[in-house]
Each structure stands twice: as C-alpha cells, then as structure tokens.
Amino acid sequence: MPDESPSRGFWYWLRVAAVGRRPKRTLLRLAVLMVAAVVVFKFALLPIRVVGLSMEPTFHDHAINFINRLAYVRGQPRRGDVVGIRFSTNLDAAIHVMLLKRVVGLPGETISFAGGYLCINGDPQDEPYLKLRSDWNEPGKSLGPNEYYFVGDNRSMPPGQHEHGVAFRSQIVGRVLFKGNQ
Amino acid sequence: MKLIVRLILLAALGALALCSWDFFFPTPKKVIEKHLVKLARLASFSSTDGNFKRLADTERIGSLLAPNIHVVLDVPGGRSQTFDNRAEVLQAVMAARSSVKDLQAQFTDLAINLSPDTQSAVALLTVKAKIGGEPDLLVELLKFSFKNTNDDWLITGLETVKPLR
C-alpha cells in the first residue's frame, strides 16, 4: 500500500500561522529582531513626539519623528539642522524630554536679532524655513568654541515666551530624521 | 541538577541580601530620589481631592523642606517669584491648589550630584506638569539643593533653570 501523508487539519495550519513550519527558526528570528530593535531604538534612533508650537509649521504639535543619535558621530552640527537638545548639562541624566530646535549659530559667531531678523556677526540672514516672524530685538551673544545657538521656527510670539539661546555641543542628542514641512 | 538548583538558590539569596541592604541602608542618592518621587506625588492633586487631603499633603510637603528654604521660580510668560522660607512656600502651595482644578506633576531625567563631604547635594531634573483645563504640558528644568540635617535630607533651595542660556 502506498504511503499516505497525514491529513493537515485546522490545528496544524493554525500552528503554522502562529509559529511557522519550523518553530525553532521562528524563535531565533524573533530573538534577533528583538535585539536589533533594542539596539536601534536605544542607541541609534530615538522616537520622539513633538509637544508644543515652537517649531510650527515645520513640525506640528503631536507629530512623531526620530532623533538620529549617530548623525554627528563623524561630523559637527551645521547651520539649519533641526536637533534634539537635552535639557540638562548633566550628561548622566536619562533623556525623556528634549528641546527640538534649529541650529542657527555656530561656535565663534555672535548671534543677535534685529527687527525680527536673525543676524550673524551683525549681518541679517535670510531664513527660508521661517514662516512665522515677529519683531524680535535681542542683543548679540558671542558663542564659545563648543557652543551653538538654537531657536524654533515659530517666532510669532514675544521672545520671552519662546525658548531659545545657547547650549553646549555635548547637549545635542542628535539630528531629527524626517525633515518636516521645510 | 542539584548543583544547578543550589546555584540558583545562592544567586536568589544574594539578590535578596543586596535588596535588603539597599532597603535598610539606602545611599544618600537613593534617599534624595525617594524624597523627590514623594514630592512629585504630593504636589499632584485632582479636583476630587477633599480639603483634608489637600491640607495633609501640604503638611507632608512641608516635612521635606528646610525651614529657611529659598525658592526662585521663573516660568516663561510669567513673572519671577521668590519665596524665602518654608511658611511662604506652603502658603503659595495652598494658594496654587485653590486656584487650579488639578495638577499632575512628574519628575524625570534626574541627575544627583553629592558634595565631597556628602552633607549636601544638588539634583537637576525635568518636571512635566499637566494643569487641568490647559491644553499644553508645562515642562521646566528644576534645580533642587539638599542638605543633610540630622540624617534627613531636606530641600534648602529650588530654582528654575533655563536649558538654553
């Protein structure tokens, strides 16, 4: 009598759908995926949710994005980069809350605002990403060798209500991954 | 098999011993962290809380503060406020509780620096506060100063810190 393969019933196909034909291989793939996810999202890409209006209209309130922590491993922040900045200068603290701002001043420069325009070493700058502007006037701040100047894209409110200013290079967590409405 | 069971038991006993040591003899940083967690919990309140609970929580907040605490709060869009002793701070806390429906405060990203003589410490943390009726989350960087007074860590100073200078 010829051999007959056993009937493949409902439970067999349910098991195949759940864990595949080779459960051990599926388990191994799952373990590799989990380790990869932990490594990527802990050390490389930090998921963030934007809260607030200071980066409108480039980034909307409640928008989801990622901070690329490896963006400046080989290289320095450039003017125009949108970056995540840790609140504290204490690098031992965890990072659950960050500022999301744009780099507008580089080390060694003097940054000021005149009539709502950003001035670098006294020269007014054209900022194509800036859609919401009001009449900001702020005296010059000179940046040290490891200092950058950060400001949001929504400058429709008085400067006292908009978090902006100088932070150290070490406070920059990384660069935003998806560039928003620029 | 018996050896493995013994090793597991030994590891479990070791972990229990470590946890017990940590519980009965906490380090100053652990004590300060516990105080801050307690402060965030006591500072939070909801509209359903009774007056007795609010008063009791305010008293408990007072037990975490030094009598000569100095507080400087500088909130964006608002004026700067200074308080020079515990009584003034508690009065402000009671006033805030009566003017706001509810408040949920959470302390996060905590970093504690102990002085070399381990008698004082500075804690930097980020506070996230959701005020009832307000659409936006209030986020501020706070600096707490602590002093070891009779084996108890009391808050001697509190100020808001600008993350960007």
Per-residue pLDDT, B68: 94
A166 lies in some domain: yes
The confidence band for B23, taking pLDDT boundaries of 50, 70 and 90, is confident
Counted domains in chain B: 1
Instruction: Report in angstroms the alpha-carbon separations of A150 from A12, A56, A104, A126, B60.
Output: 59, 15, 6, 16, 40
Q: Beta A123-124 vs A154-155: how paired, if at all?
A: unpaired
Structural contact between residues B138 and B123, judged by C-beta atoms closer than 8 angstroms? no
The confidence band for A7, taking pLDDT boundaries of 50, 70 and 90, is low
Cβ neighbours of B111 in A, within 8 Å: 88, 90, 92-93
Domain span holding position B134: 27-161
ipTM: 0.76
| Whether residue B25 has pLDDT greater than 90 | no
> Same domain for A141 and A64?
yes
pTM of the model: 0.81
> Same domain for A65 and A32?
no
Closest by Cβ to A94, choosing from B109, B113, B161:
B109
A1 lies in some domain: no
> Same domain for A129 and A79?
yes
CATH number, residue A62: 2.10.109.10
Name every residue in A having a CB less than 8 A away from some CB of B.
51-52, 85-88, 90, 92-97, 99, 101, 150, 160-161, 163-167
Closest by Cβ to B111, choosing from A90, A163, A165:
A90
AA identity, residue A120: I
* Alpha-helical segments (H) within A40-102: none
Domain span holding position A88: 50-176
Closest residue in chain B to residue A163, using alpha carbons only = B164
| Whether residue A89 has pLDDT greater than 90 | no
CATH number, residue B38: 3.10.450.50
Which neighbouring-strand residues pair with B80? B74
> Same domain for A15 and A79?
no
> Same domain for A36 and A118?
no
> Same domain for A149 and A66?
yes
Written as one string, the DSSP assignment of chain B is -HHHHHHHHHHHHHHHHHHHHHHHS--HHHHHHHHHHHHHHHH-B-TT--HHHHHHHHHHHHHTEEEEEEEEEE-TTS-EEEE-SHHHHHHHHHHHHHH-S-EEEEEEEEEEEE-TTSSEEEEEEEEEEEETT-SSEEEEEEEEEEEEETTEEEEEEEEEE-S--
The confidence band for B74, taking pLDDT boundaries of 50, 70 and 90, is confident
| Residue B77 at interface with chain A, using a CB cutoff of 8 Å | yes
> Same domain for A69 and A90?
yes
